[in-house]
Structure 1
Amino acid sequence: MKAVTWQGRRDVRVEDVPDPGIEQPTDAVVRITSTGLCGSDLHLYEVLTPFMTPGDILGHEPMGVVEETGSEVTNLSPGDRVVVPFQISCGHCFMCSAGLMTQCETTQVTGEGMGAALFGYTRLYGAVPGAQAEYLRVPQAQFGPIKVPEGPADDRFVYLSDVLPTAWQAVAYAAVPPGGTLAVLGLGPIGDMCCRIARAQGVERVFGVDLVPERLARASQRGTEAYDLRVYDDEKELVRAIQDETGGRGPDAVIDAVGTEAHGSAAAKLAQTATGLLPRRLGGPLAERFAVDRLGALHLAIDLVRRGGTISLSGVYGGMADPMPMLTLFDKQIQLRMGQANVRRWTDSILPLLTDGDPLGVDDFATHRLPLADAERAYAIFQQKQDGAVKILMEPAR
Structure 2
Amino acid sequence: MLAMTYRGPYKIRVEDKDIPAIEHPGDAIVRVQRAAICGSDLHLYHGLMPDTRVGHTFGHEFIGVVHEVGSSVQNLHVGDRVMVPFNIFCGSCYFCARGLYSNCHNVNPNATAVGGIYGYSHTCGGYDGGQAEFVRVPFADVGPVPIPDWLDDDDAVLLTDALPTGYFGAQLGDIVEGDTVIVFGAGAVGLFAARSAWLMGAARVIVVDHLQYRLDKARTFAHAETYNFVEYDDIVVEMKKATGYLGADVVIDAVGAEADGNMLMHVTSTKMKLQGGSPIALNWAIDSVRKGGTVSVIGAYGPMFSAVKFGDAMNKGLTINANQCPVKRQWPRLLEHLQQGYFKPSDIVTHRIPLAEIAEGYHMFSSKLDECIKPIVVVDAH
TM-score, L = length of structure 1: 0.90
C-alpha distance in 2 between matches for 1:338 and 1:350: 20
Instruction: For 2:89, give the aligned amino acid.
Output: S
Taking a change above 3 Å as real, the CA distance of residues 167 and 177 of structure 1, as seen in their structure-2 partners, is same
Greater shift, 197-206 or 257-266, is seen at: 257-266
> Deviation per CA, 1:142-181, whole angstroms, max 9, x where unpaired?
1100211235430121111101111111110011222111
Q: 1:306 aligns with which of 269, 290, 307?
A: 290
Q: Which runs of 5+ in 2 are unaligned?
A: none
Q: Which runs of 5+ in 1 are unaligned?
A: 275-291
Instruction: For 2:324, give the aligned amino acid.
Output: Q
- Per the alignment, residue 256 of structure 2 pairs with 259
- Per the alignment, residue 278 of structure 1 pairs with none
> Deviation per CA, 1:112-166, whole angstroms, max 9, x where unpaired?
4343111001111111011100011100101100211235430121111101111
Aligned pairs (5 A) from 1:102-141: 102-107=102-107, 109-141=108-140
8 Å CA contact 1:200–1:360 kept in 2: the answer is no
3-state SS, counterpart of residue 75 of structure 1: coil
C-alpha distance in 2 between matches for 1:11 and 1:262: 16
3-state SS, counterpart of residue 92 of structure 1: coil
Q: State yes or no: 1:186 paired with 2:169.
A: no
- Per the alignment, residue 226 of structure 2 pairs with 226
3-state SS, counterpart of residue 124 of structure 1: helix
3-state SS, counterpart of residue 3 of structure 1: strand
Instruction: For 2:152, give the aligned amino acid.
Output: A
- Per the alignment, residue 351 of structure 1 pairs with 335
Greater shift, 125-134 or 149-158, is seen at: 149-158
Q: CA deviation at 1:361?
A: 2.5
Q: 2:364 aligns with which of 381, 392, 397?
A: 381
8 Å CA contact 2:82–2:146 kept in 1: the answer is yes
C-alpha distance in 1 between matches for 2:73 and 2:178: 45
Q: CA deviation at 1:246?
A: 1.9
8 Å CA contact 2:269–2:306 kept in 1: the answer is no
Q: CA deviation at 1:355?
A: 2.4
C-alpha distance in 1 between matches for 2:349 and 2:238: 31
Q: 2:354 aligns with which of 371, 375, 394?
A: 371
Q: CA deviation at 1:272?
A: 7.8
Q: State yes or no: 1:153 paired with 2:152.
A: yes
- Per the alignment, residue 280 of structure 2 pairs with 296
Taking a change above 3 Å as real, the CA distance of residues 271 and 14 of structure 1, as seen in their structure-2 partners, is farther
> Deviation per CA, 1:343-390, whole angstroms, max 9, x where unpaired?
111111111122232x23213221000101111111111111110100
8 Å CA contact 2:266–2:304 kept in 1: the answer is no
Q: 2:238 aligns with which of 241, 246, 261?
A: 241
8 Å CA contact 1:262–1:297 kept in 2: the answer is no
Taking a change above 3 Å as real, the CA distance of residues 150 and 177 of structure 1, as seen in their structure-2 partners, is closer
C-alpha distance in 2 between matches for 1:194 and 1:33: 26
Whichever structure has more helix as a proportion of its residues is: 1
Q: CA deviation at 1:247?
A: 2.4
Q: State yes or no: 1:176 paired with 2:214.
A: no
8 Å CA contact 1:262–1:296 kept in 2: the answer is no
Q: CA deviation at 1:199?
A: 1.8
8 Å CA contact 1:265–1:294 kept in 2: the answer is no
C-alpha distance in 1 between matches for 2:347 and 2:30: 25
Cα root mean square deviation, aligned = 2.2
Q: State yes or no: 1:323 paired with 2:307.
A: yes
- Per the alignment, residue 71 of structure 1 pairs with 71
Q: CA deviation at 1:248?
A: 1.5
Q: State yes or no: 1:87 paired with 2:87.
A: yes
Q: CA deviation at 1:337?
A: 1.0
Taking a change above 3 Å as real, the CA distance of residues 329 and 210 of structure 1, as seen in their structure-2 partners, is same
- Per the alignment, residue 283 of structure 1 pairs with none
8 Å CA contact 1:8–1:54 kept in 2: the answer is yes
3-state SS, counterpart of residue 142 of structure 2: coil
C-alpha distance in 1 between matches for 2:69 and 2:207: 43
- Per the alignment, residue 282 of structure 1 pairs with none
> Deviation per CA, 1:49-101, whole angstroms, max 9, x where unpaired?
54211100111000011111112211111111111011101222221110100
8 Å CA contact 1:47–1:273 kept in 2: the answer is no
8 Å CA contact 1:179–1:203 kept in 2: the answer is yes
